[in-house]
Amino acid sequence: MLEDKNPQLTPISAYGEFGLIKHLTENFSFENPSTKISIGDDAAVIDPNGQQVVLTTDVLAEGVHFNLGYVPLKHLGYKAVVVNLSDIAAMDAIPTQILVSLAISNRFPVEALEEIYAGIALACKHYKVDLVGGDTTSSTSGLVMSITAVGLENAENIVKRSGAKANDLLVVTGDLGGAYMGLQILEREHSVFLADPNMQPEMEGYDYILERQLKPEARTDIKKTLKELDIKPTSMIDVSDGLSSEILHLSDQSKVGFHLYEEKIPMDSLTISTAEELNLNPVMCALSGGEDYELLFTIAPEDFDKIKNHPDFTIVGHAVDLEQGNFLVARGSNELIPLNAQGWDAFLNK
């Protein structure tokens, strides 16, 4: 049987707003006992059972945060959830529910939204969170997604940005800079395609950094690891806007400075080689690139032995008194280079 290369697509008007929401969400199931009432009522009901409720929201706008010229819709749905769950993980809380709101232009058929929600469903299943509500409306300027995430945790376990003390160790999970390098490859190949649609994209060999950009993961696993190591971070933040910016956020909230050691910044070999291929400084990609969604946190000096050889963590620096400032300690020379917030800013990076 021949595949129909021009399938009939369904206009959103065939469902209407409420019919569309029902269609897109009818196959979602629930994982959390705290979910009491979800989609179908005027509001969701969550019973935290004595725990603290942690809330975060994030907006992704077409042309600002993503380019549908190279971002698959299913990946976009997945990533939109991850971006928010990463913020919950950065509070050392457990993500439990999400709400999804979309503003959609008339160029998107129902099938396109089904792809987005397929990605959302995958993320919900992977992270065991429940979709409990949201909204849809029309847009005159492409696709806009807004996701709100809910997390729960006992008050004594929540970690803020404001608890770091001088001499605390600065630790990061995973590796950095890969998502930014993946974006550079996607942008390069998209430009080539626009110039000549007959050109085949050269993506082979870049799998790791492309996945870091298109399908990142929230480090919700770190909570369990830290508990097993008997470590309670003194402060924490997720690396969404670049390592430099996040360190400055911790500095501002904790009223301490930080010394970051260039030679300690963890980077994958593919990130380094791709940066060099594109004549970029790999360290600057880690400092300012963003979208890695790793966790950056501080621990008390006495916890050093618990974490020093763990494969998930790298000690990259330490906290100092606020008046000593925030500096990158250069490899080899030990020159102190001021840290600047040059990471992602939605109002500047257009």
Q: Which residues are annotated as a binding site?
A: 42, 56-58, 65, 87, 117, 134-135, 161, 238, 240-241, 291, 344
C-alpha span between 97 and 149 (Å, rounded): 6
Of the candidates 22, 128, 141, 34, the residue with the CA atom closest to the CA atom of residue 81: 128
Q: Sort strands 94-104 and 130-138 into parallel, antiparallel or unpaired.
A: parallel
Known binding residues for ATP are 117, 134-135, 161, 240
Within 8 A by CB and 6+ apart from 265, the residues are: 172, 176, 243, 283, 286, 287, 314, 316
Known binding residues for substrate are 65, 291, 344
**What three-state secondary structure class fits 72?**
coil
Of the candidates 119, 100, 96, the residue with the CA atom closest to the CA atom of residue 30: 96
C-alpha span between 240 and 191 (Å, rounded): 25
Q: How many CB atoms are closer than 10 A to CB 146?
A: 18
As given in the structure block, the two tokens for residue 11 are: 């206009």
Within 8 A by CB and 6+ apart from 290, the residues are: 179, 180, 239, 240, 241, 242, 245, 343, 344
Known binding residues for Mg(2+) are 42, 56-58, 87, 135, 238, 241
C-alpha span between 187 and 191 (Å, rounded): 6
Q: Which residue has the tokens 């008339």?
A: 106
As given in the structure block, the two tokens for residue 114 are: 């089904």
Of the candidates 262, 255, 315, the residue with the CA atom closest to the CA atom of residue 284: 262
C-alpha span between 185 and 202 (Å, rounded): 9
Q: Sort strands 35-37 and 94-104 into parallel, antiparallel or unpaired.
A: unpaired
**In degrees rounded to 5, what are phi and psi of residue 82?**
-60, -40
C-alpha span between 19 and 88 (Å, rounded): 31
